[in-house]
Amino acid sequence: MTTYITRRILLIFPTLFGITLLTFLLIRLAPGNAALLKGGMGENGGRAMTAEVRDQMIKLYGLDKPWYVAYGDWVGRSLRLDLGNSIVDHRPVVEKIGERLPLTITLAGSALLLSYFIAIPLGVVAAIRRGKFEDRTISFVVFVLYSIPSFAAALLLILVVAGGDYLNLLPMYGASSVNAPDMGPFAWGWDRFVHLILPVVCLTYGSLASISRYSRVSMLEALGQDYVRTARAKGLPRRLVVFRHALRNALIPIITIFALELPVLIGGAIIIEEIFTLPGMGQLMFQSLDTKDEPVIMGITLIAAVVTLLSYLTADILYVVVDPRITFE
Amino acid sequence: MNTPDESHEIYHEAYVARIWRHFCRDKFARNGLHVIIGLFILAALAPFLANSHALIRVADRHVTFPVLASMQDIEWRFLFYVPLGMLVYFFRRRFFAKTGLHVLLLMGVVILIEIDLKIAHPINDPTNDRDRPALFKLMPPIPWSPIESTPDQFSPPSLKHLCGTDSTGRDIAARMLHGARTSLSIGFVAQSITLLIGVTLGGLAGYYRGWIDIGVCRFIEIMDCFPPLLLILVAISLFDSQNNMFYIMAVIGLTSWTGLARLVRGEFLRLGAQPFPQAARALGASDFRIIVNHLLPNALGPILVSATFGVASAILIESSLSFLGFGMQAPTPSWGDILSDARRYIDFAWWLGLFPGLAILTTIMAYNFVGEGLRDAVDPRLKVK
């Protein structure tokens, strides 16, 4: 097991190398660069700066080096855990990401938990009542929800429960109220919770469909197994058979698909953060794309890739941990 | 209809014909397909249904067709889908006889129809035939063009403007119709690109195995580690060609082929181990022939299922991009763009959100129903009932 995990962890590095190289090439191939943008584009009007200043800036940020040299520098620095400074405000990238990562993780994490809590019972009910009214209703409703783009749902929810036109239950945007810094820890926590309700709901229902579908299929498979038939045949109550024999085994594949859902949720969080103007990674990404802030874009890509790869790895390990029939190799 | 014994029939029926028969039995899937076909026809006819120019105008002893004269390149191109769809439908027997190659060719044709490297600049033509005097004129049912600003801003739905107008007085009904073209072609073309890349890479990896397989799998893993929207956003926002529809299609297609490639690779690995490709090779068939004529048709079912869901997700991605301001830019009509307007004026202009929202919902649902139906038809064991 240790050798397997070691090998997997070692394999992460070439993948990370590929991802960052691809992103770096994209940034470098794109026309324009951060220094030009920062200087107001020079030529026609605006806050034009002289050619010397611009050249100095390009040199300072290493934008004049060929891409392979610049990428090599970046890799070298990253290996020493230094992601550089933002071109726009000269703050360390690690710091900029660090203050935004918790919010995105909270968002994606709670959406993941919530969708599991709702989707598994739905899937189990649909499987038990296969082909009946409950199954068809659940499948249909989940299906319709899945077809609504998250931003359209967000608009609708804002309009109905947050705008003040119909109901004014929840805040419309932001991650906390204006006076949040003066609040006590409990009030602050409650305030944050209230602000995150709508974003989490919007983020949740997309993955609801896939998880409930998975759990339905997995439950159906478990219910069709010989040991379930045996349990039924020896006269165990139905409840016991469903929950103790079938559900426990059905949960194995469901638990591991969280790894597939997490990247999807992080991607979805980008949109949700933009709609609700939450100061998370998504917003930082948009800002840095606008200013072509190379170090920050690279940093975000790296962090996102590491999170994704680690969740894949965790899923693979969990798979073996929860199911003793499977061994590494 | 008098059908022969079911179990007997299956052996004589082509794979595709059997899928089609199963598919047609599913009410939802059938209706989904009808909705999609209807949407394509509406989108193709959009210039004739919503235009500020008259269809026929008789004045100064001349009969003119102002709509035809004002039609843009991209609107002409979209019309090609109508004969293309009819060709596929009427020659479906012959078309599906050599499924593998023909489907790939069809995707190539679709990409050729839409390929356009110029940046679109919708021309706001100030002339309109509504107020121009003429002896006789036949206006389209919606006499507004999608990019035409009128003085009545934010007018709610009425007989004059069926779905209301937006912040610059553009008619939403016209924008919706023309926006259908954007959404449908983006879904279709992005998925064609996905299909071509996914089938090629996945097929090569699954057929040749060895180092090609290792290389392709590594590449897939790298592409898979980007959270879905991240790479698309980076690619689109860094290159300043946001208003080129083909560019957006290409980026969506180029970033979403991994799932399909995995699928094709798996299918090819499975099929390659069976005796029929070996038999073909023994008869002297080339690798290309085995891949295209023997393996691909047998893997086509799952590929088409995945492609159908892929179209739905491409449309979703495009509308998210437009909504975020990274997709097609105003005044080019797009459903996502209308929705992003809706976000700004949500307190009073409910019609800006309702109609495009419903349109996206309907389209995505239709594609998803077709996908579900196809999946059940391809693999009847998974069927819900």
Tell me: the pLDDT tens digits for B304-319? 889 999 999 999 888 8
- Please compute the mean of the pLDDT values over residues B157-169 and round it to a whole number: 81
Separation of alpha carbons B271 and B206, rounded Å: 9
Look at residue B103 and give its three-state secondary structure. Answer: helix
Residues of A in Cβ contact (< 8 Å) with B368: 143, 146-147
Residues of A in Cβ contact (< 8 Å) with B219: 18
Tell me if chain A has a CB within 8 Å of the CB of B320: yes
Bridge partners of B136, per DSSP, are B58
Phi and psi at residue B165, to the nearest 5°: -130, 165
- For residue B384, pLDDT over 50 is answered with no
Q: What is the mean pLDDT of chain A?
A: 83
- What is the structure's pLDDT at A49? 64
- Give the strand pairing for B136-138 and B62-64: unpaired
- What is the structure's pLDDT at B311? 92
Chain A stretch 168-197, residues whose beta carbon is closer than 8 A to a beta carbon of chain B:
none
* ipTM score assigned to the predicted complex: 0.82
- Please compute the mean of the pLDDT values over residues B18-23 and round it to a whole number: 80
Tell me: the pLDDT tens digits for A285-295? 888 888 888 88
Phi and psi at residue B299, to the nearest 5°: -100, 0
Separation of alpha carbons A197 and A202, rounded Å: 9
Edge to edge, the sheet with strand B136-138 lists B62-64, B56-59, B136-138
**Which residue from B14, B6, B27, B4 is spatially nearest to B385, judged by alpha carbons?**
B27
- Across the interface, of A23, A263, A289, the residue whose CB is closest to B237 is A289
**Which residue from B74, B56, B53, B38 is spatially nearest to B334, judged by alpha carbons?**
B74
Do A267 and B350 count as a contact with CB atoms less than 8 A apart? Answer: no
Tell me if chain A has a CB within 8 Å of the CB of B48: no
Output the six-digit token pair for B67.
Answer: 């709509």
CB A290 within 8 A of CB B237: yes
**Beta carbon pairs, A and B, within 8 Å:** 131
pTM: 0.85
Residues of B in Cβ contact (< 8 Å) with A285: 230, 233
Tell me if chain A has a CB within 8 Å of the CB of B313: no
- For residue B123, pLDDT over 70 is answered with no
Confidence bin at A5 (pLDDT 50/70/90): confident
- What is the structure's pLDDT at B2? 47
Separation of alpha carbons B103 and B178, rounded Å: 27
- For residue B336, pLDDT over 70 is answered with yes
A223-238 in b/e form (b: 16+ CB < 10 A) is: beeeebeebbeeeeee
- What is the structure's pLDDT at A43? 45
- For residue B333, pLDDT over 70 is answered with yes
B347 burial (CB, 10 Å; 0-12 / 13-18 / 19+) is exposed
Q: Give A132's DSSP letter.
A: S
Give Cα separations from A27 to A71, A87, A286, A296, B243 (angstroms): 11, 14, 14, 11, 19
Tell me: the pLDDT tens digits for B283-296? 998 998 898 888 88
The listed range with the strongest mean pLDDT (A45-54, A313-322, B13-22, B182-191) is B182-191
Interface test with B, best of A12, A137, A147 (most B CBs within 10 A): A147
Higher pLDDT, B264 or B327: B264
Output the six-digit token pair for A60.
Answer: 């300072």
Q: What is the mean pLDDT of chain B?
A: 82
Tell me: the pLDDT tens digits for A188-234? 888 888 888 889 998 888 788 888 888 888 898 888 889 899 998 99
Look at residue A179 and give its three-state secondary structure. Answer: coil
Tell me if chain B has a CB within 8 Å of the CB of A317: no
For chain A, how many helices (H) and strands (E)?
15, 0
Phi and psi at residue B275, to the nearest 5°: -70, -25
- Kindly calculate the radius of gyration of chain B based on its CA atoms and give it in whole angstroms: 23
- For residue A167, pLDDT over 80 is answered with no
Tell me if chain A has a CB within 8 Å of the CB of B222: yes
Separation of alpha carbons B268 and B264, rounded Å: 6
B104-125 in b/e form (b: 16+ CB < 10 A) is: bebbeebbebbeeeeebebeee
Output the six-digit token pair for A118.
Answer: 């709702």
Residue type, A15: T
CB A317 within 8 A of CB A302: no
